[in-house]
Structure formats: structure tokens, C-alpha cells
Structure 1
Amino acid sequence: MADEKEHGISTVKSIVVYPIKSCGGIYVTQAPITSTGFKWDRQWLTVNSKGRAYTQRVEPKLALVQVFLPDEAFFEDWQPSDESFLEVKAPGMDVLKVPLTKPLKTVDNVSVWEWCGSAIDEGPSAAKWFSTYLGKSSRLVRFNSDSEVRPVDPNYAHGYEVMFADGYPFLLISQGSLNALNALLQEPVPINRFRPNILVDGCFSFSEDLWTEIRINKLTFQGVKLCSRCKVPTINQETAVAGPEVGETLLKFRSDEVLRPNRKPQKGKVYFGQNMVCRDSLGLGMEKINMANSMIIKVGDPVYVLKMVSSPDDSPA
């Protein structure tokens, strides 16, 4: 059942951008929205010698990699210069500085999940840094937005795109949901276990399960799919060590069988958070988005719920 009346206000508590897939996030006070999600989000990827993506699922040490961008990189009209860098840090490693101006060399057969295409190679220094840190042949690549498109699953959100994100441009979670989980855990966990882009506060726990349309700063976001979780939430992002408690607890009260009893069961799936797309970005090229004055959200922005369903049983998953 959909309710088209505007109701229920929560607030954007934090915004997180993850420039390198599976590495640390950057907490920002504001973030511009592009056709693939937040600016800089999952624009880089570490790959093995065959071009296949590394993620925390197989390389949990990536959790300890910290990533930094200039503060001004999150202004809508900012463009990098020759003195602009992505800085990468990790325990026992020197700082790696990756120029934000694009290099010219591309590599083929870069793959992440179902997608395969070309990417921009960040060169031998970055390759040596990640090879040393991971202890195996590695390279750092950047999404080649000039020639490549990676579409979102059209069964859930037709026409949208991502760079190296798992599947969707945005992941939204509420503080109430984290609080509800932590109340069941012997050792509470921080929100970084779940790697959201947008954390909201002020609503009931798991309200986001039901949101099919919300508005943040005049931008309309559509909830398209409950986020099914892999093993990454079991990995402590400060130690890179996995433990069973989070996964076992989620399975007890956030499994597909529990939340969606009237649907065909998807055994083993657990949900935490809502995958989202921004309708205002659909069909807009990068140049148009850069010219727009309102394609940005900020910490503290109110969140208005425009449409919702009555239970998780009615939510796509």
C-alpha cells in the first residue's frame, strides 16, 4: 500500500563517500550527486593480475586502508589541478599520492561482479603500493567514464548507472536500525560495518525498509531494493578481523524468511539498509549535473518520506 502524503521527518546524520571500493570511507559535510552516485564514490578499484576486483570479502586488509581527498573536492564546481591528489594510507606503509588529473593509459578486461570493461591504470607506484600491502600482484584502476557504462540492474532501476559500487548508487541506513541491532549484540558495532552512503536519524528502526520515495534538499530518491548483506558487516573495520556475532544475529531477525514470509524464500539472505537511486540524476550527463546548483545534499538536511509501503513483505529485495 502506497501513501503519497508527505510525512515523517528524519535528518541526514552523516554522509560517507568511498573513493576506493572496499577501502575506508570519507565522512563529509556535503556531497554533490552525479549520474553514478556521490561524486568520487567507488571511482577507484584494486584488481589482481587478471584484472579481477579485490574486495573485503577476500581481502579484509582493505578495511584498514584510509583514503583522503581535498575538502574542496566535494564542492560542485571544483576541478582537480596538477597539485590535487587522492592520498592513501595503511599500517606499515608510506603515504601513496595518486594524482586526480587522469592518466592516459587504459587497461582492458577489468571486472567487478558481472561487469567487464576498460579502466584507467593509475601507474606503477600505485601498483607497487597495493602489491606490497596485499602481498600479491595488484593494480589500482579508475573507472573510465569517457568510454564505459555500468548499468544498474534494470529489473529494479532502469536507466541508472554506477561506477564500481556493488549494485546501486546509494545505500541508506537509519541510526535507529543500528541501535536496534546493537541492543541485541554483546559487543555493539559502529555504522562503518555496513558502509552506508547516507545515515539518517530521527525515525523508527528499520523505517527505511518501507521507503519507496523520499526527498532530501529538493532531490527525490527512490528506494529500489532492500540491501542483502554479504560477509563484510562481520569484519571489524578497525582490525580487519571477522567475527560471527553480527551475521548470526542478523540471520535471526533480518532474514528473508522473517521479513518476507509471504514471498518465495531466498535462503541465506539477510537485509540491512535500503538501496536507492536519485531520480534527478536520471538521464543527466556529467556536464549538466555540474551546471546544476541543487544537486547536493548536506549533513543536517531534513528527510521527507513521500511514499512508502506497509511492510518489508511489499518491498523489492
Structure 2
Amino acid sequence: MRITRLYVYPIKALRGIELQSADLGAQGIRHDRRFMLFRVLENGDLKKMQLSSFPECALFEQEIVDDESILVRFLRPEGSPRPADEVPQMPLTVPLRPGTENLEAVEVNLHGSSARVYRMGDPFDSWFSACFTYKVVLVYIGDGRRPILGSTLPPQPARQQQSGWLSGISSYLSGAHQQDATWLTFTDVAPFMVTTEASLQNVRARISDGQAVEMYKFRPNIVVDGEDEWAEDFWAELTVNEQHGLLLTGNCLRCTSLNVDYNTGKPAAGEVGTVLKKLMKDRRVDKGNKWSPVFGRYAFLAGDDFKVSVGDQVEVTVRLKDRTVWDWPGL
């Protein structure tokens, strides 16, 4: 197998950036989901913004410039009732590594896993608020560390399901190094998401009106050309270029974000707006959450940091006898 695509999402929920190569570390691809948007409610509480609840996030394009900043553009939909002069005309530049000493620290919660993070403030908040037409804040993870919840997603329990794992991986997953390394930024529940081209073709075959289902809607980090469709359900370990490992420890349970039209920032018209429903018919295969269909696998690094590129060789080095069972509390 080969890696066919790589994606990074510096600001969570906005459009991803397709890469030709990427640096992988314990917290994911470098720069991945270090920033996140929250809507400010009338009582002052912060509500997380993700595509499932805020499909208009799909209207924001982001670009990494010189490994120093993120350039964000708002793509006003064609035919939008909003006058063009009401929308910020200039893109927003966000530093990739902002200093935090003068930023307000706040506690935020994502899927029950909270962290102390930093509000970026203006001009970032005002720019996004003008685009969304309601009050929004941009936060930076900084030195915040979100804990991993449940017993199936951290690497150690997954490793115990198998025998014959590499001794180097066993060493990595034990002791203080595991405690230091296994925490999250604003990635949902694991540092990486792995999907396959073969399973995407299965999804595309379910659409009969000629519209294409694009891989970016599944928001992966690493895409491989795969074996047979859905073979990844039973993958436990991938080895890249015969030396670097990824531990696949949980299924990705899908939501209405699959139905979003990235050109309108709304649920898509036609059959591509029913992708989630079509997967419901036969992809509710995780006994831990029988209501959500599965597409893709969550993954953790299995050793030292390394670099990957499109075209790199990938091998399945450990397989599961049975599918993993979801148990992230409350999600």
C-alpha cells in the first residue's frame, strides 16, 4: 500500500490543507488543530464550533505561509444574500506560534476532555465574528493538554489485545514516556485519522445522481490506497517505509458533517446530502455506539517522530481478530 494523501487542519473545523509531506509527532501532524473557534453564547459560555453544528465553517480556507502563519480566507458563497461589503475583504493572518504571556487563559471543553487554553483576542475574534455574523472567539492550545478518556483509544489497552507486538513499541508504551506523550490538542479523540481510498469508492458507489463524495469531507490526516473496502476496520498497526509505526486503536464514528456542501456552508442538496444516512444502513459496526456509522480509524504514534510523504510505502503489520469497541465516556 501507499500513502495517497495527507491533510492538516491548523484551525479546527475549517477547510483542510492538502500536503505532499508532513512531520508526525505524538500530538499529530505538525500544526494540526492547534487553534479552535468557539461561539460566545448569551450567558457568556463558549460553545465548540464543529462542522456538524456549524456547517458554515466549511466556507473558510486556510493556508500555511512559510511555516510562520496561517492565512485564512472567507469564501462568500455565490448568490449569498449578504452584501459583499459586509464580509471582510482581506484575509486574516494568524501566527502559528503566538506568545501566550499576554493572552487571557480560559478553560474549554471538547468531548468531555477539557484544557486551559488561550484566547487570541482581537483582531482575530472580530474578523471571525464579522464573517459568522455572531460573536466568535479564536483560542490557541498553547501548553494546554487535553486528557484522553476511555479505555480503548489510548495505545496501551490496544496493545494488550495482541501478542507479538514489536518490543520497541512495548517499551514506548510503558512507563513515564507514555504518560508524557499521550495527550491531545484539539484533535477529537486521537492525534491521527487514517482512511482508505477503497472505502471511499464504496461510499461513492452509493450515490446515483452523478455527484462525487470527496475524501476531504471525512477530514482524515493520512489516506492510503488500502486493501479491500473496510479492511481497515481490523487494522491495529501500520508500518511506514518498514521502520515507523502507527497504532490504530479506535473507529471513527461519523456525524452530519459528511452531508455539508463546502461551497454553500449548508447541508448539501441531492444524494450527497444523505451520505450519513446511506452509511447508516450497513456501517453501524461498532458495538460501543450502535447509532453511528464507521469510516476510518483513529491512530497514535508508535515511537519517535518521523516524516511521511505521499507515495510512501505502508504495510499492515498487526491485525485484529475483532473490531475495537468504542467507549469514550459521553460521546
TM class by smaller structure = 0.7 to 0.9
Candidates 193, 201, 214, aligned match of 2:238: 214
Contact 2:25 2:301 in 1 (8 A): no
Shift, 1:154, TM fit: 4.7
Partner of 2:298: 275
Normalised to the residue count of structure 1, the TM-score between the two structures is 0.81
Partner of 1:67: 62
Which amino acid is 2:314 matched to?
V
Task: Name the CA distance, whole Å, in 1 between partners of 2:217 and 2:64.
Answer: 22
Shift, 1:202, TM fit: 4.6
Task: Name the CA distance, whole Å, in 1 between partners of 2:323 and 2:93.
Answer: 46
Contact 1:225 1:276 in 2 (8 A): yes
Partner of 1:314: 323
| 1:59-138 correspondence to structure 2 within 5 Å | 59-70=54-65, 72-73=66-67, 84-92=68-76, 93=88, 94-103=90-99, 104=101, 105-138=103-136
Partner of 2:23: 32
Rate the CA distance shift 1:110–1:212 in 2: closer, same or farther, 3 A.
Answer: same
| 1:237-256 correspondence to structure 2 within 5 Å | 237-243=262-268, 244-256=273-285
Shift, 1:240, TM fit: 2.0
Contact 1:52 1:112 in 2 (8 A): no
Which amino acid is 1:308 matched to?
R
Which amino acid is 1:161 matched to?
W
Contact 2:10 2:32 in 1 (8 A): yes
Task: Name the CA distance, whole Å, in 2 between partners of 1:52 and 1:248.
Answer: 26
Shift, 1:58, TM fit: 1.7
Which amino acid is 1:314 matched to?
R
Task: Name the CA distance, whole Å, in 1 between partners of 2:112 and 2:315.
Answer: 34
Give structure 2 stretches of 5+ with no counterpart: 77-87, 157-177, 327-331
Which segment is superposed worse, 236-245 or 127-136?
236-245
Contact 1:106 1:118 in 2 (8 A): no
Structure 1 residue 297 corresponds to structure 2 residue 293: no
Partner of 1:21: 12
Which amino acid is 1:86 matched to?
I
User: SS of the residue aligned with 1:161?
Assistant: coil
Task: Name the CA distance, whole Å, in 2 between partners of 1:51 and 1:40.
Answer: 23
Give structure 1 stretches of 5+ with no counterpart: 1-9, 74-83, 282-288, 290-294
Task: Name the CA distance, whole Å, in 1 between partners of 2:53 and 2:193.
Answer: 22
After superposition, the C-alpha distances for 1:259-292 in whole angstroms (9 at most, x for unaligned) are x6xx5x73312101111111115xxxxxxx5xxx
Contact 2:22 2:29 in 1 (8 A): yes
User: SS of the residue aligned with 1:88?
Assistant: strand
Candidates 135, 140, 158, aligned match of 1:142: 140
Partner of 1:163: 185
Task: Name the CA distance, whole Å, in 1 between partners of 2:75 and 2:323.
Answer: 45
Root-mean-square deviation (CA, aligned residues, Å) is 1.8
